[in-house]
Amino acid sequence: MSKVNENREIVSCISEMRAAGDYLYTHSINVALLSMLLGKWLKYDYLRLKSLVTSAFLHDIGKSRIPSEILNKPGTLDENEFAEIKKHCVIGYKLAESFPGMDEDILKGILQHHEREDGSGYPFGLRGDRIHEIAKIIAVADIYDAMTSNRFYKERACPFDVIDYIEKDHLGTLDHRITSTFLKNIASYYIGEHVILSSGDTGEIVYINPYHISRPIVKCGDKYVDLSAERSVKIAEMM
């Protein structure tokens, strides 16, 4: 989406983001790319896609104004520190509002990407249909990237564990249609991958069950292990 690069104000903010910490910079790019994929799977046209990608890329721009000792603090944050972090949505919205070429879709994505379907999100605790669709897409991409990055785990988490976590833990907080479109398509990239099961068997992922995305069918030698039926077995490792 090359036009984004022509916008000087955005470019200067990107270097501010880089200064705020490498994690924020790579996370912003990843969320923009994941959101672009998701927008395509949801059949977005070029203009909507452009707003989506711009919004996703800038979603955490407000964090560039949060003190770095809070932003990069290792370990858990106390209540006041968390309240500070939460301000990044409104700060980001106000910053982006001053850039040329920002439309309402872009701004809403930045402002609302931490709102949740059941009203448990922030900054306003909006529910379901009051949350802009672009913000809902960014929310899914944001959570997926945070969980698959190296930041919180020594090793990268197994993608099927992340899918399982999102399916279970975010039921009711993320938009169901957007989340299942994302997980189904992401999971299908792993068809043909070789895996080691917790039973010790090795095999190849051959089928993604649309009703149970985190538990595919794995072909081990000449037997098929349906992980949606064999609940005691899981994918232990991707090879």
Instruction: Give the total of residues touching Fe ion (CB under 5 A).
Output: 1
CB of 63 to Fe ion, least distance (A): 7
CB of 221 to Fe ion, least distance (A): 45
Cα dihedral sign, 142-145-150-152: positive
Question: Is the CB of 60 or the CB of 105 nearer to Fe ion?
Answer: 60
φ/ψ of 174, rounded to 5, equals -105, 155
Question: Is the CB of 117 or the CB of 164 nearer to Fe ion?
Answer: 117
Question: Is the CB of 105 or the CB of 142 nearer to Fe ion?
Answer: 142
Which residue is nearest to Fe ion, using beta carbons? 60
Contact 57, 4 (CB under 8 A): yes
Part of the chain binding Fe ion (CB under 5 A), chosen from 5-13, 54-62, 72-80, 184-192? 54-62
CB of 60 to Fe ion, least distance (A): 4
Question: Is the CB of 160 or the CB of 182 nearer to Fe ion?
Answer: 182
φ/ψ of 118, rounded to 5, equals -90, 10
Part of the chain binding Fe ion (CB under 5 A), chosen from 9-17, 52-60, 129-137, 228-236? 52-60
Binding mask 139-178 for Fe ion (x = CB under 5 A): ----------------------------------------
CB of 176 to Fe ion, least distance (A): 21
Part of the chain binding Fe ion (CB under 5 A), chosen from 29-37, 50-58, 60-68, 70-78? 60-68
Question: Is the CB of 92 or the CB of 216 nearer to Fe ion?
Answer: 92
Cα dihedral sign, 220-226-227-230: negative
Closest CA relative to residue 220, chosen from 198, 236, 196, 237:
196
CB of 88 to Fe ion, least distance (A): 6
Residue 168 has a CB neighbour count (10 Å cut-off) of 9
Contact 146, 27 (CB under 8 A): yes
Cα dihedral sign, 39-44-45-51: negative
Q: Which of 10, 50, 58, 60 binds Fe ion (CB under 5 A)?
A: 60
Distance CA 213, CA 82 (A): 33
Question: Is the CB of 60 or the CB of 115 nearer to Fe ion?
Answer: 60
Distance CA 135, CA 105 (A): 9
CB of 198 to Fe ion, least distance (A): 34
DSSP H helices, the chain, are: 8-20, 22-41, 46-57, 68-71, 79-86, 88-97, 104-112, 133-148, 159-169, 176-188
CB of 122 to Fe ion, least distance (A): 10
Instruction: Report the interface residues with Fe ion, using CB under 5 A.
Output: 60
